[in-house]
Amino acid sequence: MLAHDQMLPSRPEVIALAQSVEGLALKEGAGARAVELHALAASLEERIWRVEHREQDAKEAVDLYRAASRDLLLRGACDAAVKGALLAGDLAKDAQTTYAELYRVQRRSSSSADAGAPTTPQAGGPCGTIVSEPLARVAAFRPPPQVLDAIDQGLAGEGAIAIALSDAGAPRPVVVPRITRVEQWNGPEAARVVVHLDRPAHFRVGDVASEKNRGARTYVELDGVELGAAARETPLAGIVSRIVAEGSSTGSRIALDLNGPAYRRVFHLLEPYRVVIDIARQPPGSKRGSSRAVSRVVLDPGHGGNDPGASGPTGLKEKDVTLAIAQKIAPMLARLGIDVSFTREDDRYVTLEERTARANAAGADLFVSIHCNAAEKAGRRGVETYVLDTTTSDMAGRVAARENATSQAASNEVARLLASMRLADQSTRSTRLAELLQRAGVASLQPIYPDVVDGGVHRAGFYVLVGARMPAVLFETSYISNTAEEQRLGSAEYQQRLADGVVNAIKAYREGR
């Protein structure tokens, strides 16, 4: 029994861990270690299903148990097969399904041990012995002969197995990662392509030099991945002239034809799993002119549309506050001769990947993402500013997880990924902008609101900042979960004071203070 003050991990945290383990299993490929990892991922998915009863979690667990049991001669594979069969029956709430699934395991074990062995529950060596006991327990629920005949035919010819599983009411038998969609944001100077998958998969990156009749190409090989619904060819106008999705000898390939010389950076994000391909004319960390030149700023009002963000005690929504503050910032920056763009100008949903992509495509000099903080403790308050970095505290990790709409484990994974792609100069400039913004924001508020708490500058793995090619910060204006600060955030005066702070910080950054 758990003590009353102990808490089970959240569903996103368990799923993130299961996906990470499954990713390791896919990299392992085959062998006893892969069996162990697939089975561990399956047990995590099964556990969260037992607690929350979401059908998709159970289906994922069944698929993973079947992946672990592809070769029943490997250590642990038979146990995984039996667990998957029992779970399939539990999911269907049908003892006949349980029998059919166990019968299938028994027939496979017989086939693995000796193609000519008799089809008794004890056949198939050790695995036949393991499966005989649970099969005997459900003997009274033996399904009609045609179901078992279909299973036998499927095992004999590897062609009718889907029929048997369909008749038994079970999910698909093999774990095959699949591309669910490919998104792209393309401009003359930069582009971002996001490949969404329904589960983690191993990927490799390669390049093809330009030829006489074709420009350079960069591509991502997705091992063991089905193309799914991905468009086979998408012509574009910009730095990427065409995206080609095609099958390969190892799975699938997403290729980008480039319009002239370019630099690329590829990384993955979790929950859901996706592979991000960033393309740019200039090398990472490069900057036209002075490192403090500011002629174009992209403002990112957090959340929007069907993503309201955090809500206050009386119902004030983060998405409305952030847009209102951004709309107050824009005309003041324009008066300073700075061109301003928004990632959203109204109440619409924009993905986190698209927000950074728009800033890159616009050639922005600065990127400011505006949010309202929230905490379980209603008394927490203050103004805070965040930058993307490889180090993070527990508190910063929780904030990032909330803004990313992921588990803290998935957000911390971003920090680990950054270790291989961090740019020292850009990180320094982002930190400097964050320090100026934190100082200016607090200074703007304190004359009217002397009790404002200076929460300082923090580092964490925010998805919305990943891949930004310019100094980028996330500004947590105040805690909307705090009753007093919610009231302030809803007032035009407080919003204007926050907007003044952002403008003063950008002005100070441009002047090199």
Interval 183-201: pLDDT, tens: 999 988 899 999 999 888 8
Q: Which residues contact 298 (CB under 8 A, 6 or more apart)?
A: 340, 341, 342, 343, 358, 359, 362, 364, 366, 367, 368
pLDDT at 426: 66
CA distance between the termini of the chain? 58
DSSP, res 465: G
pLDDT at 113: 56
pLDDT at 60 over 60: yes
pLDDT in tens, 339-378: 999 999 999 999 888 898 899 888 899 999 999 999 878 8
Q: What is the mean pLDDT of residues 475-492?
A: 96
What are the distances in angstroms from CA 69 to CA 27, 49, 175, 432?
17, 20, 11, 53
Nearest CA among 223, 243, 220, 219 for reference residue 231:
243
Q: Quote the tokens at residue 329.
A: 């910032």
- Indicate the pLDDT class of residue 481, thresholds 50, 70 and 90: very high
Percent of the chain with pLDDT over 90: 37
- Indicate the pLDDT class of residue 335, thresholds 50, 70 and 90: very high
Give yes or no for a contact between 39 and 22, defined as CB atoms under 8 angstroms apart.
no
H or E stretch covering 359 = helix 352-361
- Indicate the pLDDT class of residue 302, thresholds 50, 70 and 90: very high
pLDDT at 408 over 80: no
Nearest CA among 393, 423, 429 for reference residue 411:
393
pLDDT at 179 over 80: yes
Dist CA 49 CA 67 (whole Å): 18
- Indicate the pLDDT class of residue 404, thresholds 50, 70 and 90: very low
Quickly list DSSP for 1-31.
---TT--PPPHHHHHHHHHHHHHHHHHH-SS
User: Residue 164 class from Cβ within 10 Å (0-12 exposed, 13-18 middle, 19+ buried)?
Assistant: buried
pLDDT at 312 over 70: yes
Q: Which residues contact 416 (CB under 8 A, 6 or more apart)?
A: 390
Q: Quote the tokens at residue 143.
A: 């399904």
pLDDT in tens, 109-159: 876 655 444 434 344 468 888 888 888 888 888 887 776 776 666 543 333
Half-sphere exposure of 224 (CA within 13 A, CB side): 17
Nearest CA among 373, 361, 380, 372 for reference residue 326:
372
pLDDT at 59: 83
pLDDT at 420 over 60: no
Percent of the chain with pLDDT over 70: 78
Give yes or no for a contact between 202 and 26, defined as CB atoms under 8 angstroms apart.
yes
Q: Tokens 């971002």 belong to which residue?
A: 192
